[in-house]
Chains A and B, each alone.
Chain A
Amino acid sequence: MNLTLKIWRQAGPQAKGSMETYQVTDISEDMSFLEMLDVLNEDLTERGEEPVAFDSDCREGICGMCGLMISGHAHGPEVTTTCQLHMRSFRDGETITIEPWRADAFPVIKDLVVDRSSFDRIIQAGGFISANTGAAPEAHSVPVPKPLADRAFESAACIGCGACVAACPNASGMLFMGAKITHLGSLPQGQPERWARVQNMVATHDAEGFGGCTNIGECSAACPKEIPLDVISTLNSDLRKSRSQRH
């Protein structure tokens, strides 16, 4: 395949960025999207130009490190991560635009790499449980009803990639936060901190400059792990109850 790429280039956090056009040739349909970018970068390096900076780590869809806005879709046209997206999802001769996640809470570091430490600070504010470390408890010592276990598991699938924020017209982090609240709040182990957790996480979310949710649904549609919108409702419900529950 031969493709035209329009890529956001930005030399550093303060620099002014712009879209630049590149051509790549002889791309195999079996390559992943990131491998295609690797080909471009080898090309650029050989020509003595600055390669395009982008994030990735596991390249198997589990770490949440990768994430690009591809022709207007977070992680591209399929429901998966950018690293698990394959070139067969594109047509020969297509023009693809590639941009970083755009949100003031995710400032650009360079080109397509953004700083998502605001997510880490939300987790630090409440995305944990308190447990003794060392000896692992016997797995059956705390019974969890099957429906709750399923729901916790479904929300625990969130890999924190930030596609929800990138896709949201309000740049809100509610789906990410809702996934964490639902994951931990559904389980017995998450109960002691439940009400403080939701209040602290929401306060941190707002202070980090994320937008407010207006229930549009773009987040869930963009999520590579298909986290459903109802985690946001659970978050809202916990936030409402926390006023009277937190002592």
Chain B
Amino acid sequence: MKISMALAGLLFVFYVLMHMYGNLKLLFGQKAFDDYAHHLRTLGEPILPYSGFLWLFRLLLITALLVHVGFALHLWSKANRARSSRYVVKKAVAATVSSKMMRWGGIALLLFLVFHLIHFTILKPNFNSGETVVEGSPYSLVVAAFKLWWVVAIYLLAMIALGMHLHHGVWSAAQTLGLTQTAKSRATAKALGVLVALVVAVGFAIPPLAILFKIVGN
């Protein structure tokens, strides 16, 4: 059960890294990013129909999300049942902030995911009346959005939450899969968690900040 949760989580890590790499293409201008978005939809053609690969991948991600969140909620309720009477005084010695934020941070990520999908995939509202969004150019939509400071703020907060979730999640997954049976491999897994968290959080944060501070997208 926790193994499927760890595998689902690691699939997200892989996806998130790909996604971050794609986003960084924003820095190379409109053509690079729009081509990338288009390429995602033609990947696997002609074996797969237009958007075929994208939908297969989305299906996989949705399944993984259901598994991951389902088991997370199960673990949560099990923990509550395992200690129905609470301590009057309880101090943590070893727990990291990230590890304590897995549950509420996970829920924050879920809410962000809904917002994010509505924003750039489903409804694609243009929050910025000062900019025109070109049909079929995700680049213009993204640039218009990130010229607004509050949109950038929402995304940055979400990336802090994601970084924290990954900080504990990567190490936790290694432990769950039984890969950390020595003090040395434990230290490696923890360092990897910090590294992945930093790379992902910083990598995602660069494009919105670059747009906000008018380094790209004028």
Contacts and interface: CB of A to CB of B under 8 A. Distances in A.
Contacts of B99: 214-217
Interface stretch (A58-66, A127-135, A205-213): A205-213
| From A97, A102, A236, residue with most partner B Cβ within 10 Å | A236
B108 to A, nearest CB: 17
A215 B94 contact: no
Nearest to A10: B85
A170 B82 contact: yes
Nearest to B80: A211
A70 to B, nearest CB: 9
**Interface residues of chain A: helix, strand, loop or mixed (majority):** mixed
Contacts, number: 122
A102 B85 contact: yes
B81 A240 contact: no
Contacts of A234: 178, 181
Contact of B83 (A211, A215, A218): A211
B132 interface: no
Contact of B175 (A167, A172, A232): A232
Contact of A237 (B82, B168, B178): B178
B18 interface: no
Contacts of B178: 233-240
A230 B2 contact: no
A215 B176 contact: yes
Nearest to B3: A240
A104 B81 contact: yes
Contacts of A218: 92-95
B116 to A, nearest CB: 26
Given A103-B82, A171-B83, A211-B78, A97 B102 contact: no
B94 A212 contact: no
A99 interface: yes
A230 B181 contact: yes
Contact of B93 (A211, A221, A233): A221
B84 A169 contact: no
A201 interface: no
Nearest to B186: A230
Contact of A230 (B93, B94, B95, B182): B182
Interface string A219-244: 01110000011101111111110000
Q: Chain B: interface residue count, which band?
A: 35 or more
A197 interface: no
A73 interface: yes
Interface string B186-207: 1000000000000000000000
Q: Which of B2, B99, B176 has the most CB of A within 10 A?
A: B176
A69 interface: yes
A102 B181 CA distance: 29
Contact of B177 (A19, A221, A229, A240): A240
B183 A228 contact: yes
Contacts of B89: 69, 71-72, 97, 99
A73 B94 CA distance: 11
B3 A216 contact: no
B172 A214 contact: yes
Interface string B46-90: 000000000000000000000000000001001101111111111
B183 A230 contact: yes
B79 A222 contact: no
A69 B83 CA distance: 14
B82 A233 contact: no
B181 A233 contact: yes
Contacts of A210: 82
A103 B176 contact: no
Interface in A178-220: 209-218, 220
Given A71-B91, A221-B94, 16 more contacts: A97-B88, A97-B89, A103-B83, A104-B82, A167-B93, A171-B82, A211-B83, A212-B75, A215-B176, A216-B95, A217-B95, A230-B180, A230-B181, A233-B180, A236-B175, A236-B178
Interface of A: 6, 8, 19, 69, 71-73, 97, 99, 102-105, 167, 169-172, 209-218, 220-222, 228-230, 232-240
6 contacts: A73-B93, A97-B88, A211-B79, A214-B99, A214-B102, A216-B99
